[in-house]
Amino acid sequence: MSDIFWCNNCKVPLLKKECGICHDDGQRVASDIRPVFPEEKRLLEVLLEYEEGYFRDKSVWDTNSNYLLIDGVTVALNKGKLMKLDPGEIRLKLKRCSVPDDELIEFEDNVDKFVRCNQNSLNESEIEAFDIIKEARMGRDKHISMVSFSGGKDSTVVSDLVRRAYANQSVLHIFGDTTLELPDTQEYVARFKKFHNKTPFLESRSHHNFRDLCEQIGPPSRVMRWCCTIFKTGPISQTFDGISRTKSILTYYGIRKSESNQRANYKAITQSPKVTKQTVVSPIINWIDANIWLYILSRKLDFNDAYRYGFSRVGCWACPSNSLWAFFLTRIYFPEFSEPWREFLIEVAVTMGKPDPEEYVDSGNWKARQGGQGLTTAYKGLVTSKPCGDDPDAKTYTLTKPISEELYEYFKPFGDVAIGRGRSLLGEVFILNKHTQEPLLVIQGRTGTSELRVKVVSSKNTILLMHRVDCQIRKYQSCVLCSGCSSVCPLGAISDKAGRYTINQEKCVNCLKCVAHFDTGCLVSKVLQTRRS
C-alpha cells in the first residue's frame, strides 16, 4: 500500500512525507492520485451543478476511488447518483463550457509546484527504471529492443524512459490497434508518430470486425474476454513471432504491480512464457499512478487527451473490464459508438429474456454474462459422440457441420494426413506418425455426411488422444477464423489468411500446443459453451 501526503504550505500532494520545497511533513491523504485537468473540472462542475469556474482556483486530484482531493480535503463523489444523469444533456451543457487560456497557465504553475515538491521521488523512480533497463540490456546486445506502445500513459512513460536510457530515438515501437480504440488514442498515436519521426513504428491490427463477431459469439464479458485474444494479443504476438523467429527480442512493457492483485507478484525482467526468444522488461513495475503523472508532467510529455477529460485508463471503449464510470464518460464524449453498442447490448439482453434489459446493461450486469445464452450459434461447439460397438479405441461423432476436406486440417497437429492411404470410397483417411510414418489414427466419414468414425491405432494414452480429437472436432465445428490458434502456434504453422483454417504440414512439429490451448479446443466454442452444455 502506498501513501500520498498533502503539503499544507505548498498546497500540493506529496509522494513522500517530507515536502521537497518547504521541508515540512505532509498529512497522509490517499494511497494514490492523478491530476484532475481543467477539462475534467468543467465536467465535474456540470455534473455537480456548480457554477462554471467553481474548481478553477482549486487544486483538484482524483484518488482513484470515489473521492476527490480538493485543496487537500477529501470529498466524496457519489458516482452512482451522477451516473443516473442523462449523458446527452451533460454533453450539451459541456459544449457551452470552455477552458480559458489563463486557467491553463495557472494549472501549469500548480503542476510545476507539484514537480518541484516531489523532485526526490521523481529522481528515485527514474533511477530504479534506468537500473532495470540497464540490467535487461546486459548480455543482450544482439537482441532487438522494442517498446510495446498502447497509447496510454504507462507506455508513454516507458517509451520516453527507454529512448533516454538508450540515448537513441530509433528504438522500435509496436502498437496493437484493437480497432476499439478511443478517438483520442488514435489522435495521440498519430501525433506520436509525427513528432517522433526517427522512431520506427510497427502497427498490428486484426482483420476481424468486432461487431460482426459479437453478433456470432455474443459480446465479451469479464469471464470471457475473447476480444483480447482476437484483437490485441493475437495480432501483436503474430508480429512478435515474425521477428523472434530470426532474432531474440527485448520488449519493454508498461506493466505495473499496482494495476491489479494478479500483477502484484510480477517481476521486472522475465522470459516470455509464449514467445521463446522474448525477454519481457517492465521498467515501471513498482510505480503508482502518482509516479506516472509526476514523470509525464515533469518531462512535459505529450499524452492521450482522454486523461484530460477524466478517463483514468484508456483502452478499448467496449471492454467489459472498464468501470461503469468509464462507460458513462464514453457515453458523454463518444456517443457515435457508445450508443450503438449500448443498443446492441440491450438487444442481447432482450434475447436472453432479461426482465429489465436497460437496467441489465446500465448496471453493468452484462459484463457477468456467461456462455452463449441467447445465441443461436451456441450449439455449434457441442461435440456429440458414442463408443463404437465393442471397439474401445474407436468413437463415432455426429457432427454439427458436414464433413469436408477442411476437416483434415484439424488432424494435422497429430501427424501427417495421408488421404490416399485409406479406402477412399469409405472416406477413410490415415493420420501417420511424422517420424515413423506408422498410422496413429484412422478417420472415416464420407464428404457431405455428418457421421465420423475415429479410431486410435497406436497411442500410449488412448483416452487423452481421444480428448484431443474432441478438441479438434470442436474447432472444426465452431471456427470463425478468429486467429486465436495461429497466435498460439510457436512455429507459425497455422494460418487463416486464405479465408480457411490451414496448417502447414511442413512447418508443424506436432507439439500439440494449439490443440487444447483454449481448454475446450476453440476459443469461440469455449465462449459459446453454456453452463448446461
Q: Which residue's CB is nearer to ligand SF4, number 91 or number 513?
A: 513
Nearer to ligand SF4, 281 or 508 (CB): 508
Nearer to ligand SF4 (CB atom), residue 248 or residue 510: 510
Count of residues that interact with ligand SF4, criterion CB under 6 A:
27
DSSP SS3 for 444: strand
Q: Which residues of 103-119 are buried (b: 16+ CB within 10 A; e: fewer)?
A: beeebeebbebbbebbe
For the CB of residue 343, give the shortest distance to ligand SF4 in the complex, in Å.
26
Give the angle subtended at the CA of 225 by the CAs of 258 and 83, to the nearest 5°.
70
485 binds ligand SF4 (CB under 6 A): yes
Cβ-based nearer residue to ligand SF4, 53 or 490? 490
Q: Which of 4, 19, 217, 281 binds Zn ion (CB under 5 A)?
A: 19
Q: What phi and psi values does residue 176 have, to the nearest 5 degrees?
A: -95, 100
Binders in 391-430 for ligand SF4, by CB under 6 A: 413
Shortest spacing between CB 49 and ligand SF4, in angstroms: 49
In the window 494-523, what residues touch ligand SF4 (CB under 6 A)? 494, 501, 503, 508-514, 518, 522-523
Q: Which residue, 349 or 524, is less far from ligand SF4 as judged by CB?
A: 524
In whole angstroms, the minimum distance from the beta carbon of 225 to ligand SF4 comes to 14
d(CA 230, CA 234): 5
Contact criterion met (CB below 8 Å) for 28 and 2: no
Q: Does 493 bind ligand SF4 (CB under 6 A)?
A: yes
| Residue 517 DSSP one-character state | T
Report which of 284, 327, 308, 312 is spatially closest to residue 33, judged by C-alpha positions.
312
CA angle 305/262/366 to nearest 5° reads 65
CB atoms within 10 A of CB 253: 19
C-alpha dist (Å) from residue 460 to 201, 432, 467: 49, 15, 14
Q: Does 7 bind Zn ion (CB under 5 A)?
A: yes
Alpha-carbon gap, residue 385 to 363, rounded angstroms:
41
- The residue among 45 and 416 lying less far from ligand SF4, judged by its C-beta, is 416
CB of 484 to Zn ion, least distance (A): 53
Cell numbers found for residue 321: 473490464
Answer for which of 9, 119, 424, 437 binds Zn ion (CB under 5 A) is 9
In the complex, what is the shortest distance from the CB of residue 491 to ligand SF4, in angstroms, rounded to a whole number?
5
Task: Give the footprint of Zn ion on residues 109-138 (CB under 5 A).
Answer: none
Q: Where are the beta strands (DSSP E) in 39-131?
A: 60-62, 67-70, 73-76
Q: How far apart are CA 398 and CA 391, in angstroms?
A: 17
List of residues contacting ligand SF4 (CB under 6 A): 413, 475, 478-485, 489, 491, 493-494, 501, 503, 508-514, 518, 522-524
List of residues contacting Zn ion (CB under 5 A): 7, 9-10, 19, 21-22
